[in-house]
Chain A
Amino acid sequence: MDDASIDPDATGDDGDLPEAAGRRLGSGSFSSGLTVPDFAACLQMGLAPVALVQGFCVMQWGWYGQGSPYSRGMTPYAFSGPSVPRGVYSESYQCPHGGYSYSNEHRVWGQNYQQPWVESAWAEGFTSSYTRMVEEATEVGAHGIIGVVDTTRHLADMNVTEFHMLGTAVVVRGVAAPSGATPWTTYLAGQRLAKLVEAGYMPVSVVASLASVRVWAYCVTEMLMEGRPLSAYGAGGYLPVAEVEQLSRAHIAARSLAREHVRSQLGHDTLQGAAIVANTQSLAQGDEVIECALRGTRVRRFKDFDPLPAPRPTVRLS
């Protein structure tokens, strides 16, 4: 059956979707967020758009909880010694100046550490909004969702983050979806999706992950970043041109962690079209919070293909 007429009563439990979603999805005509060229490509691939589906979730950050960047005065160590949880990134730095004779302000210890509580809150928000979008798609009997647009908006003054996912649910003509299968999802649509399939890859799902690394600066980092030489602490010295190793390593760690989080969701599949957004929040005195979000489409190779012959170079006359 080609057109997507749905009987809302037949699909069972709506879960936690708003009531209006049920009415919209049951309306019988299709809606889609695709542009005209993408719509044409979609039909050419044998996909029929069914409905525009979305999922939404608002998460509150527990700023005053463990490891809050705003709670100074606590020990800088989130993890130390044998209590470091396995697989969590952390690196300590010690003052090289034999520091106790300096003022109280001299930061003799510093640490870079991963903040898994932040990461899991983000993951929860993302997964909830994703799951709700997929639920809407399942309700209309879709096989997949294409052209997913995923927006994360942070309302700083309320410590709240909104996750919104929107996509076009489609049905693959001529294929009966195996029962109980979750719709496949992808950020791609139109010609880019067509090329992906022609290249031998099938999208499996959208994947995304956040890594959060907190830097508690030690004395060397603080001085180099603030431009205040040791003499401010009552000892002579000057500041050279030097790599601020603590920060360099924290930046690389944040990005690498985001990549590894995503890799753990891939199984044996490949991540296509990775997009990275890194955000650095500078707190006082050289401290930083670095957050890096990595998004992409998980794809699976479904056929071999011979390499393309080298494409013909052309020069346009206009």
Chain B
Amino acid sequence: MTQPQDLPKEAGHRLEELEHGLFTSDLSVNEFLLIKEAGFHPLGFVMGSSIYHTGIQARRWSKSQELTKLTEAMYNARELAMTRMEEEADQLGADGVVGVRLDVNYYEWGRDAAEFIAVGTAVKAEDGTSHRNAQGKPFTSDLSGQDFWTIMQTGYVPQGLVMGTCVFHIAHRGIGQTLGTVGQNVELPNFTQALYEARELAMTRMQDEANTLGATGIVGVRLEEKSHQWGSHTIEFLSLGTAVTKSSGEVTLPKPITIISLDN
């Protein structure tokens, strides 16, 4: 599925400059200082993108089903973007990427096409120990600088951003069905079943990715639902989180002070 070594040549010059010592980061000043506290140094702003045509898939109007071709397309597109971002990080010799953001852009001149972008800041441990994941690749995580510092203090380390996606078509209800329930308080079992299934599929796939990385668990799971450009009966469920494993370090998080802030 993934294609290594396919970064466009334009990426080359910029990454070379970063390898010679200049660092760039889209971390805020707070995050920059906390990354340093955690013993890491930012290397550079890395990004990967892919413009993907998400074509048509035939669907039955009255059947609720997963649209597997579209699921594959959405998955591939994001994978391409993430992989290119990881490659840029790899080229910089990074241990990992923090603050990863996955965005989708639509352009008017590209019907049915969307651009998938993954951006983040590549970081490297200052003491030289490798923090790459079980597959020897830089870890990715959507943790902010603050969350990264906090989790490193708990003795867990990030392995990678894991995601599961499922594009589901929800059946339209026939006239008979609609009239039959007019004015009643009733559960709609079709919808319930469909949406339940879709979410479970997305989360299970995310879990599978985490297992492949040999992770102990996933933190910060987010479930997003979008209809993109397909109309309201077709929804993509995207489940995202950061897979983590317990490292040999102990918990060094200091005991917090409790406060009550009197701000507005």
User: Do any beta carbons of A and B sit within 8 angstroms of each other in the complex?
Assistant: yes
By a beta-carbon cutoff of 8 Å, the part of chain A in contact with chain B is: 35, 37, 313, 315-317
Contacts of B204 in A (CB 8 A): none
Leading 10 A-B pairs by shortest Cβ distance: A37-B264, A317-B256, A315-B146, A315-B149, A315-B150, A315-B34, A317-B150, A35-B264, A37-B262, A313-B33
Which residue of chain B has its CB nearest to the CB of A313? Answer: B33
Max chain B CB contacts within 10 Å: which of A315, A316, A317?
A: A315
Which residues of the other chain, A, contact B256 by a CB distance below 8 angstroms?
317
- A317–B34 Cα distance when bound, in Å, is 14
User: Given the complex, which residues of B lie within 8 Å of A315, measured CB to CB?
Assistant: 34, 146, 149-150
Q: Which of B171-216 contact A (CB under 8 A)?
A: none
Instruction: Classify the secondary structure of B's interface with A.
Output: helix
Chain B interface residues toward A at CB < 8 A? 33-34, 146, 149-150, 256, 262, 264
Residues of A within 8 A of B146 (CB): 315-316
A101 CA to B220 CA in the complex, in Å? Answer: 73
What residues of chain A lie closer than 8 Å to B150, measured between beta carbons? 315, 317
When chains A and B are docked, how far (Å) is the Cα of A317 from the Cα of B264?
19
Count: A-B pairs, CB below 8 Å: 11
Chain B residues whose C-beta falls within 8 Å of the C-beta of A35 in the assembled complex: 264
Shortest CB distance B127–A (Å): 22
Which B residues are CB-close (under 8 A) to A316?
A: 146
Residue of B nearest to A36 (CB): B264
> Shortest distance in angstroms between B150's beta carbon and chain A's nearest beta carbon?
7
Nearest CB of A to B107, in Å: 25
Query: What is the CB-to-nearest-CB distance from B148 to chain A, in angstroms, rounded to a whole number?
Result: 11
Chain B residue nearest to A35 in the complex (CB): B264
Specify which chain B residues have a CB less than 8 angstroms from the CB of A317 in the assembled complex.
150, 256
CA distance A35 to B263 in the complex (A): 12
Q: How far is it, in angstroms, between the C-alpha of A185 and the C-alpha of B264 when the chains are bound?
A: 23
Q: Can you list 11 A-B pairs with a CB-CB distance of less than 8 A?
A: A35-B264, A37-B262, A37-B264, A313-B33, A315-B34, A315-B146, A315-B149, A315-B150, A316-B146, A317-B150, A317-B256
| Nearest A residue to B258, CB-CB | A317
Bound: A316/B149 CA distance, A: 11
Give me 9 other A-B pairs in contact (C-beta within 8 A), A313-B33, A316-B146 excluded. A35-B264, A37-B262, A37-B264, A315-B34, A315-B146, A315-B149, A315-B150, A317-B150, A317-B256
Point out the residues of chain A lying under 8 angstroms from B262, CB to CB.
37
Nearest chain-A residue to B146 (Cβ)? A315
- Across the two chains, which residue of chain B brings its CB closest to A190? B264
CB of A262, distance to nearest CB on chain B (Å): 29
Shortest distance in angstroms between A39's beta carbon and chain B's nearest beta carbon?
Answer: 12
